[in-house]
Amino acid sequence: MLTVEILVSAALGLATVLAVCTGLVVRFKSPQPRQREESENYFLCIDEKHERQRLGSLSDEPTVDLSIIVPAYNEEERLPVLLKDIREYVTARRQGEPKFSYELIIMDDGSRDKTVDVAMDFARTHKMRELKAVRHVINRGKGGAVTQGIMCSLGRYIMFCDADGATRFSDIDALLAQAKKSAIEGRVVAIGSRNNQALSDTVVERSHVRAFLQWGFHTYVTILGVRGVRDTQCGFKLFSREAARRIFPNMHVERFIFDVEILLLARYHHIPVAEVPVNWHEVAGSKMSIVRDSIQMALDLLAVRLNYMLGNWKVSQTAKD
C-alpha cells in the first residue's frame, strides 16, 4: 500500500512540475509581434517623382508574376552578391519571357549599417525600378521581416530568400515548376532543401558543426509534430498567393523558428508542401550564434507547439487581410 502511495505522490509531483514548466514556457517564451509603425507602411524606390510610396497588401489582387522578399539585418557586405544573382536571373528569364514582371522587396530589419543605402545604390546603378526598400524602426527578427514583407507583396507567386546569397537564385525555377505540379486549388508551398542531394545533382557545402546541429534540430522538430519535411530551415521558400493569404496573417513567430510555424499552418490548412533540392553553400558572416540561438529556437518551438495545442492561438479558416 505504501508503495502505491509513493508512486501516486511521485506521479502528482511530476505532473505538477510539468504543468509549471509548461506555464512558464507559454508565459515567457510566447512571441508577441508588434504592430507596424506608420513609417513602416512605406517603401523607398528610384522613382524620381515618388521615391517614398505606400506599400501594397497581400489582400490586393496580384500585379506582378513574382514577389521576392529579402530579410536583411546589417547586410551591407553580403547583399550585393544576392542582388547581382537576382538581376542576372531576371535578365536571362526575360530573354525567353519578355513580359515577366517582379518586385524585389528588401526588408531592412533595423540595421545599423548601410544596408538600405547599398540596396538603393544598386538599384540606381542598374536602373532596377522593381527594387523596394522598407526600413523597420526596431529589429523584429528574420521571421518578422519575412512576414511583414509577404503581407505587403503583390506577386502571383511570393518567395523569400536569405540576404547572404547562400542558395543559387536560379534554383527558383525548380521550385516554381514543382509548385505548379503540386498545387491544390491554387494553394502550394515549395521549399528549398539542403537534404535531398541524393535525389539530384545539386551541391551543398556546410561545416560539420552545422550539419550536426541541423540533424539534431530536425529530430527535435519531428518529435514536436512537423513530419515529412527534411529541411525546415532553408531560407529559400516559395508560396502561391492563395497559400500565403492563409498562412501569413496567422503568423506569430518573428525569430528563427518562424519556418516551422509556416509549415504547421500549411498543414493546418491542408496546403501541399513540396521539397525541392537546391544548390547551397555556407557563407561567412552569419548573425546567428550557434549555441545561444539553438537553445532559443528549441524553447521557441516548444512555446509555439504548446500555444497551438492549448488553443491559445486561433487559426483563421480562411484568407484574411
- DSSP labels for 179-239? HHHH-BTTB-EEEEESS-GGGSS--EE--HHHHHHHHHHHHHHHHTT--S-S-S--SEEEE
pLDDT at 153: 98
| 60-100 tens-digit pLDDT | 999 999 999 999 999 999 999 999 999 999 999 999 999 99
Q: Are 12 and 6 in contact (CB under 8 A)?
A: no
Residue 86 CA to residue 103 CA, distance in Å, equals 11
Average pLDDT, the chain: 85
224-259 in b/e form (b: 16+ CB < 10 A) is: bebeebebbbbbbbbbbbbbbbbbbbbbbbbebbbb
| 214-259 tens-digit pLDDT | 666 666 666 666 777 888 888 999 999 999 999 999 999 998 889 9
CB count in 10 Å sphere of residue 22: 15
* SS3 label, residue 18: helix
pLDDT at 57: 97
Q: What's the whole-model pTM score?
A: 0.86
Report whether pLDDT(209) > 70: no
CB count in 10 Å sphere of residue 43: 21
Band (pLDDT 50/70/90 cuts) for residue 212 is: low
Report whether pLDDT(194) > 70: yes
Q: Are 92 and 122 in contact (CB under 8 A)?
A: no
Question: Which residue has better confidence, 28 or 188?
Answer: 188
pLDDT at 5: 62
Residue 55 CA to residue 51 CA, distance in Å, equals 12
pLDDT at 256: 80
* SS3 label, residue 132: strand
| 141-190 tens-digit pLDDT | 999 999 999 999 999 999 999 999 989 999 999 999 999 999 999 999 99
| 34-45 tens-digit pLDDT | 889 999 999 999
User: Residues of the chain with pLDDT > 90: what percent?
Assistant: 59
Report whether pLDDT(204) > 70: no
